[in-house]
């Protein structure tokens, strides 16, 4: 026993404490009051739009945006609890209730795209070319063709529930109805693998289309509009909310320059834009 | 199959071109999980020694709890840590939710029972009379503890590897308390989940391969220490 200090333990201590030093300096460098928590939907993140917009916003304002991408339902829950500063969501009915209950202020129209019903090219329920989702949903139910639902309280899921309700069908518990509980991209992959139908937002579908093997079978109905709003979480209710940051972000989203970027986003890659800018328009003008 | 080859190719392409984003993600993974392992080693080995070397009522129960903790589901840890760190939660004043610090904390919670559980087993596995022998040779208590740690070097290093392996590969807690924020709290596992959700499977495979390489390098380093001839 020459030495009581085992060298190996020393080595490990040195190895493991190096990262520790780094990781504690990193968060210290940021300014805490400069953080904005943006709770948003998976579709805005998965399409890549926010990766384009947020660096511009951060550069212009000096804020640091923490984007937490979850379903619209969870995003609004975060807002209700004051755990987010600003929301970018697409679940209009739930949003109206959110505002009415005083959880949010300044709900502004940002952009839209549309939902589409996609399915296998063989189209077992024969819905291709139909003009009304009501009939298409009935057909799918009658044929007992597999339908994949997000099942995660997202904006897409709540839209899908509205469509079933309009058709007077209760799909829960049916053999042909399966809920993935996953994001849009993953649900599209499940639908492709299982040769099932699903409801998707066009942006995510277009960005995944390559190699997916699902066709657009129904589109263009006013009921299928997918509308995004930005909402500031009510600072009167939650004093810890970064109200100036939320306001700056909301103003940025509806600013003319940002709207131009939104309108062009995706054209180079997919041949058509993924979103249509709508700032300042009345919701009625979209056919609601 | 072609996809996997594409992924492997892409992994090396990203590594050799020193892609700044991928490098950042890789370094952050190492930093967060390394720091979490370090904390768990400090807490796990010391508390494991205390439990292993003492007799007290309820010891069996405590050891069973620790052994159960070795299988703590990361998402459950993430959920609780998130609720505790919420702005309006009990530790909201710290303002560390959605930061790498929060990820280190959650991962340390996951790794500590692993390190502690293996430590208890390793120390208890030493010959029971060894302690008495060391003490009778005139060693102080601290010297005895060091000696026992050295004697149990092989399983203790295995404990560190198990702890590190548990946290570098987990995704549930990291995504819940870190938020997978680009360039800030995105690590290899959360990026892999995101890329596969976006349909970028080649990128997801590439990130997975980088994660495996990173794990291999760290474990190789630890194994070299573990398997070295004991210095005399």
- Residue pLDDT tens, chain B, 232 long: 788 888 888 888 888 898 899 999 999 999 999 999 999 999 999 999 999 999 999 999 999 999 999 999 999 999 999 999 998 889 988 989 999 999 999 999 999 999 999 999 999 999 989 988 998 998 888 899 999 999 999 999 999 999 999 999 999 999 999 999 989 999 999 999 988 877 788 889 999 999 999 999 999 999 998 888 665 5
The pLDDT value recorded for residue A186 is 87
A195/A213 same-domain check:
yes
A27 within a domain of the structure (yes/no): no
Residues A205 and A277 reside in one and the same domain: no
Domain end position, chosen among A181, A196, A224: A224
Residue A30: pLDDT above 70?
no
The whole-chain average pLDDT of chain A stands at: 86
ipTM of the predicted structure?
0.80
Residue A245 and residue A158 share a domain: no
Question: What is the count of structural domains for chain A?
Answer: 2
pLDDT at A117 over 80: yes
Residue A16 has pLDDT above 60, yes or no: no
Q: Which of A61, A70, A48 is nearest to A206 (CA)?
A: A48
- Picking from A224, A254, A269, the residue at the C-terminal end of a domain is A224
Residue of chain B nearest A64, judged by CA positions: B184
Q: Residue B37 is nearest to which of A16, A42, A67, comparing CB atoms?
A: A16
Query: In this complex, how many residue pairs, one in chain A and one in chain B, have their CB atoms less than 8 Å apart?
Result: 113
> Are A220 and A123 in the same domain?
yes
Q: What span, in angstroms and rounded, lies between the C-alpha atoms of B89 and B83?
A: 6
Residue A84 in any domain: the answer is yes
Structural domain contains residue A130: yes
Q: What domains are there in chain B, each with its CATH number?
A: 2-227 (1.10.3720.10)
Q: CA of A283, closest CA in chain B: separation in Å?
A: 30
Instruction: With a cut of 90, say whether residue A206 has pLDDT above it.
Output: no
> Quick check: is A17 in a domain?
no
What's the pLDDT score for residue B190?
94
Q: Which of chain A's residues have a Cβ under 8 Å away from the Cβ of B196?
A: 186
Instruction: Dihedral sign for Cα A50, A55, A61, A65, please.
Output: positive
pLDDT at residue A13, as a whole number: 57
Least CB-CB distance to A186: which of B100, B197, B226? Answer: B197
Are A204 and A118 found together in one domain?
yes
Report pLDDT for B230. 61
Question: Which range marks the domain in which residue A76 is found?
Answer: 32-113+227-286
Secondary structure letter of residue B20 according to DSSP: H
Tokens of B121: 């087993």
- The pLDDT value recorded for residue B18 is 87
Residues of B whose CB is below 8 A from A208: 198-199
| Rg over CA atoms, chain B | 20
B contact residues 83-122, partner A, Cβ 8 Å cutoff: 86-88, 92, 95-101, 104
Assess whether A217 and A118 both reside in one domain.
yes
- Which chain B residues in 190-209 lie under 8 Å from chain A, judged by CB atoms? 194, 196-199
Distance from CA of A170 to the nearest CA of B (A): 28
User: What confidence category does residue A2 fall into, taking pLDDT thresholds of 50, 70 and 90?
Assistant: very low
Helix B141-151 and helix B153-168, axial crossing angle in degrees, nearest 10: 70
pTM, entire model: 0.84
CATH code: domain of residue A270: 3.40.190.10
Nearest alpha-carbon partner for B230 in A121, A161, A3 = A3
> Partners of A216 in the beta sheet?
A118
Q: What is the pLDDT of residue B16?
A: 87
Which DSSP symbol is given to A119? E
Residues A78 and A159 in one domain: no
A125, A207: one domain: yes
Q: Are residues A237 and A209 in the same domain?
A: no
pLDDT of A42-73, one tens digit each? 888 878 899 999 999 999 999 999 999 888 88
Per-residue pLDDT, A9: 54
In this structure, are residues A184 and A209 in contact, taking their beta carbons and an 8 Å threshold? no
pLDDT at A11: 59
* Close Cβ partners of A25 (under 8 Å, ≥ 6 residues apart): none
Residue A233 lies in a domain: yes
Would you say A147 and A197 are in contact if contact means Cβ atoms under 8 Å apart? Answer: yes
Task: Kindly give the pairing relationship between strand A147-149 and strand A177-179.
Answer: parallel
Here the tokens at position B133 are 């022998």
Q: Is residue A86 part of a domain?
A: yes
- Residue A129 region, left (φ>0) first, then alpha (ψ -120 to 50), else beta? left
Query: Has residue A85 been placed in a domain?
Result: yes
The answer as to whether A106 is a domain residue is yes
User: Is residue A258 domain-shared with residue A217, that is, in the same domain?
Assistant: no
Listed in order, strand segments (DSSP E) in chain A are 35-40, 64-69, 86-89, 104-119, 147-149, 177-179, 197-201, 215-218, 225-233, 276-277
Q: Within B90-178, where are the H helices?
A: 100-124, 129-136, 141-151, 153-168, 172-178
Instruction: Look at residue A26 in the predicted model and tell me its pLDDT.
Output: 46
Q: Are residues A67 and A101 in the same domain?
A: yes
Domain boundary (A204, A224, A244) is at: A224
Q: Is the dihedral of CA B76, B96, B191, B17 positive or negative?
A: negative
pLDDT tens per residue, range A144-187: 999 999 998 888 999 999 999 999 999 999 999 999 988 888 89
Same domain, A142 and A267: no
């Amino acid at each position: 026993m020459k030495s009581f200090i085992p060298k190996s333990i020393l080595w490990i201590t040195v190895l493991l404490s190096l990262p520790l030093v780094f990781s504690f300096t990193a968060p210290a460098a940021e300014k805490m009051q400069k953080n904005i928590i943006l709770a948003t939907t998976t579709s805005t993140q998965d399409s890549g739009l926010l990766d384009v917009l947020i660096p511009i916003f951060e550069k212009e304002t000096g804020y640091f945006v923490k984007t937490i991408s979850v379903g619209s339902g969870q995003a609004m829950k975060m807002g209700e609890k004051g755990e987010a500063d600003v929301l970018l969501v697409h679940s209009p009915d739930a949003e109206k209730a959110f505002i009415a209950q005083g959880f949010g202020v300044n709900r502004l129209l940002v952009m839209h795209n549309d939902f589409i019903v996609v399915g296998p090219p063989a189209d077992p329920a024969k819905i291709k070319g139909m003009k009304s989702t009501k009939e298409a949903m009935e057909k799918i139910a009658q044929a007992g063709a597999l339908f994949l639902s997000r099942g995660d309280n997202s904006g897409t899921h709540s839209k899908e529930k509205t469509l079933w309700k309009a058709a007077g069908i209760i799909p829960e518990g049916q053999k042909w109805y399966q809920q993935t509980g996953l994001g849009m991209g993953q649900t599209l992959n499940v639908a492709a693998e299982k040769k099932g139908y699903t409801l998707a937002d066009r942006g995510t579908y277009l960005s995944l289309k390559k190699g997916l093997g699902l066709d657009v079978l129904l589109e263009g109905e006013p009921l299928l509009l997918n509308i995004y709003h930005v909402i500031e979480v009510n600072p009167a209710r939650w004093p810890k909310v970064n109200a100036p940051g939320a306001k700056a972000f909301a103003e940025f989203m509806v600013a003319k320059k940002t709207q131009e970027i939104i309108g062009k986003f995706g054209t180079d890659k997919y041949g058509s834009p993924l979103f249509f800018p709508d700032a300042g328009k009345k919701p009625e003008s979209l056919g609601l | 199959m072609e996809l996997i080859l594409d992924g492997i190719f892409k992994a090396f392409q990203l590594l050799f071109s020193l892609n700044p984003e991928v490098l950042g993600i890789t370094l952050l993974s190492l930093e967060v999980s390394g720091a979490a392992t370090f904390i768990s080693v400090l807490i796990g080995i010391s508390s494991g020694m205390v439990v292993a070397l003492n007799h007290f009522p309820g010891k069996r129960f405590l050891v069973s709890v620790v052994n159960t903790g070795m299988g703590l589901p990361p998402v459950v840890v993430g959920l609780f840590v998130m609720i505790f760190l919420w702005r309006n939660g009990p530790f909201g004043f710290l303002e560390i939710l959605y930061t790498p610090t929060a990820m280190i904390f959650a991962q340390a919670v996951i790794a500590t029972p692993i390190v502690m559980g293996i430590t208890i087993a390793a120390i208890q596995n030493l010959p029971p009379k060894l302690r008495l022998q060391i003490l009778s040779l005139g060693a102080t208590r601290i010297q005895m503890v060091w000696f026992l740690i050295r004697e149990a070097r092989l399983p203790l290093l295995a404990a560190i590897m198990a702890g590190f392996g548990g946290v570098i590969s987990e995704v549930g807690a990291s995504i819940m308390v870190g938020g997978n924020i680009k360039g800030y709290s995105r690590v290899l596992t959360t990026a892999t989940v995101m890329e596969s959700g976006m349909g970028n499977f080649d990128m997801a495979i590439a990130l997975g391969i980088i994660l495996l390489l990173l794990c291999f390098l760290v474990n190789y380093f630890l194994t070299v220490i573990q398997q070295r001839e004991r210095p005399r």
